Amino acid sequence: MDRKLRKERTGIVTSNKMEKSIVVMVERKEKHPLYAKFVKKSNKFIAHDEENTCNEGDKVRIMETRPLSKSKNWRLVEILERAK
């Protein structure tokens, strides 16, 4: 049985105050339809961090998963870069 491809995002941890959870902000640049200027847009995702290893400012990769709570349906895959 094949598992479907799951969405992956790369972002920066903005909060780790919860137990086993982190808030990850993912930014992207979109071209404005009329003015053709690139505008920064961002989304916040709440992700599951089983070992509580992330700190604020870390660059991480998260993957979509089954719902783990009301607002949590992403999980931490790896920490790409530690905050300085």
pLDDT of 68 over the 70 cut: yes
Range of the domain at 20: 8-73
Confidence of residue 3 (pLDDT cuts 50, 70, 90): confident
3 within a domain of the structure (yes/no): no
61 within a domain of the structure (yes/no): yes
29 within a domain of the structure (yes/no): yes
pLDDT at 1: 65
Whole-structure pTM value:
0.88
- Give tens-digit pLDDT for 9-60: 999 999 999 999 999 999 999 999 999 999 999 999 999 999 999 999 999 9
82 within a domain of the structure (yes/no): no
Domain containing 57 — which CATH number? 2.40.50.140
Q: How many domains, in total, are found in the chain?
A: 1
84 within a domain of the structure (yes/no): no
Those residues whose C-beta lies under 8 Å from the C-beta of residue 46, and which sit 6 or more positions away, are: 21, 22, 23, 24, 71, 72, 74
pLDDT at 84: 83
